């Protein structure tokens, strides 16, 4: 009688023990598979559980990335396969951010995808400590900006991911950071069979793919006579106020004012002053029509030149109200670069209350316009076209775009495309080389856009 009463519990204990052994066995197989990955990475099926760490997850950008990653995963029907931890230095702030995220998510399936907070300081922890923290994850998304002025620490998190055998993705908007990661860690990533994607936000990120799409279509139009060196690309960006990103975009912008601007003219690299050469750009009626934008040093200029061989490339940025443009012009002209770099934190803190007030007045709308043309010396401009993307809020746009890249990496089968997962360190246009792969990613971003327009095709 006693044995009969204990039998159900005994059977349950045996079952739990068996399941535990199976889980450990699966974990061991995954570790062995990770260590023996081929040069072209194999993506796990949608049924597998993908562990993701969003570094900087308690910040505005990191929280937006996490929220939209979960929401879009739910729309694709893969939310049960996603498990996300938020990584940041402050445990209390991180746990509070995770709780706020769960409250904003509509379903239990979505809420269960946001797991926990992981305390880490990627810029200060010992490399061995970082590697152990990162090892359990399948993907690390680095959103802890600003990315400017990092110097030798620029690729520290990427290096730890390579050592841990974990895929890497970031939203870096600094050319020096991006190029440092490519030059210093590309070989190590290839040897470790790790695929790292850099600059995968809205701009840079989706803007890179917009340019690649225009180049592809114009090449089809022109045929064999099209020479890459005769193409021109102009990236133009607008954000009202801080775009809702607060201190993050302020710090990045102030630091960019301290950098000379990389441009390409007639196939030659030309360095120009920051926030110079203003132009009036038409961002469409959803963004107030024509806005003034100024030259800024951004990585998509470099990538368009080295990846596509384009002979003319430049990037401009403008904001509202116009007073902000004037203030930034004055800072770029009258403050020495070392002051902007060393006093950035103080300048940001001092200006943040005013910026928040301005955000309440002007909103957080953002726009990306990419112009593409072909310049034939004999016959003049053969063709010109542009691609316009407008979103109501910058932070949400960054979150959606970054999430789209992550989902394309983890669940390409759900998008119906073949995204090449080559080991190394890559710009977005180096990964999404086919028109089909770009259009699939655009399909995740376009539904929430206020404007999504191609012209001249």
pLDDT attached to residue 93: 92
| Burial (CB count within 10 angstroms: exposed 0-12, middle 13-18, buried 19+), residue 190 | middle
pLDDT attached to residue 21: 39
169-206, pLDDT tens digit by residue? 999 999 999 999 999 999 999 999 999 999 999 999 99
The percent of residues above 70 in pLDDT, for the chain, comes to: 83
Which residue has tokens 């710009």? 427
Indicate the range of 223-237, 298-312, 391-405, 422-436 predicted with least confidence.
223-237
Does the pLDDT of residue 324 top 90, yes or no?
A: no
Residue 250 in tokens: 């302020």
Q: What is the largest CA-CA distance in the chain?
A: 100
| Top-confidence range, 242-246, 309-313, 380-384 | 309-313
For 78, residues 6+ apart whose C-beta sits below 8 A from its C-beta are 46, 407, 410, 411, 414
Mean pLDDT of the chain: 86
Residue 61 in tokens: 């950008």
Is 142:169 a contact under the CB 8 Å cutoff? yes
Q: What is the mean pLDDT of residues 394-423?
A: 93
CA pair distance 6, 15, nearest whole angstrom: 14
The conformation of residue 411, written as its DSSP 8-state character, comes to: -
Query: Given CA atoms 285, 289, 295, 296 in this order, what sign does their dihedral have?
Result: negative
pLDDT attached to residue 33: 36
Which residue has tokens 């396969």? 81
- Rounded to two decimals, the pTM is 0.86
* The CATH fold of domain 206-395+448-455: Dihydrodipicolinate Reductase; domain 2 (3.30.360)
Does the pLDDT of residue 20 top 60, yes or no?
A: no
């Amino acid at each position: 009688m006693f044995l009969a009463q204990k039998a159900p519990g005994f059977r349950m204990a045996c079952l739990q023990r068996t399941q535990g052994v199976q889980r450990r066995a699966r974990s061991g197989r995954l570790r062995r598979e990770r260590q023996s990955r081929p040069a072209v990475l194999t993506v796990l099926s949608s049924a597998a559980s993908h562990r993701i760490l969003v570094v900087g997850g308690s910040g505005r950008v990191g929280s937006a990335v996490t929220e939209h990653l979960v929401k879009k995963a739910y729309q694709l029907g893969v939310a049960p396969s996603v498990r996300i931890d938020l990584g940041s230095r402050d445990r209390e702030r991180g746990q509070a951010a995770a709780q706020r995220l769960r409250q904003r998510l509509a379903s239990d399936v979505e809420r269960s995808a946001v797991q926990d907070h992981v305390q880490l300081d990627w810029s200060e922890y010992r490399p061995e400590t970082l590697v152990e923290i990162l090892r359990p994850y399948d993907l690390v998304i680095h959103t802890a900006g600003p990315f400017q002025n990092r110097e030798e620490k620029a690729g520290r998190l990427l290096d730890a991911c390579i050592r841990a055998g974990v895929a890497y993705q970031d939203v870096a908007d600094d050319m020096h950071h991006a190029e440092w990661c490519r030059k210093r860690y590309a070989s190590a990533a290839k040897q470790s069979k790790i695929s790292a994607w850099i600059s995968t936000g809205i701009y840079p990120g989706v803007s890179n793919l917009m340019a690649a799409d225009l180049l592809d279509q114009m090449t089809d139009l022109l045929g064999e006579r099209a020479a890459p060196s005769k193409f021109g690309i102009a990236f133009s960006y607008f954000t009202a106020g801080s775009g809702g990103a607060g201190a993050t975009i302020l710090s990045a912008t102030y630091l960019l004012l301290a950098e000379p601007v990389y441009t390409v003219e007639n196939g030659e690299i030309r360095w120009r002053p920051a926030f110079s050469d203003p132009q009036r750009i038409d961002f469409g009626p959803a963004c107030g029509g024509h806005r003034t934008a100024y030259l800024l040093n951004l990585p998509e200029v470099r990538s368009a030149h080295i990846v596509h061989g384009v002979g003319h490339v430049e990037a401009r940025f403008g904001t509202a109200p116009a007073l902000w443009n004037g203030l930034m012009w004055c800072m770029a002209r009258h403050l020495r670069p070392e002051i902007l770099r060393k006093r950035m934190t103080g300048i940001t803190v001092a200006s943040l209350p005013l910026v928040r007030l301005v955000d309440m007045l002007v909103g957080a709308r953002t726009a990306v316009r990419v112009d593409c043309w072909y310049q034939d010396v004999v016959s003049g401009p053969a063709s010109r076209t542009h691609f316009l993307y407008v979103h109501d809020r910058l932070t949400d746009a960054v979150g959606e775009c970054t999430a789209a890249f992550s989902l394309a990496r983890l669940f390409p089968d759900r998008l119906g495309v073949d995204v090449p997962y080559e080991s190394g360190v890559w710009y977005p246009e180096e990964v999404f080389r086919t028109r089909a792969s770009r259009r699939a990613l655009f399909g995740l971003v376009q539904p929430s856009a206020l404007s999504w327009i191609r012209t001249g095709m």
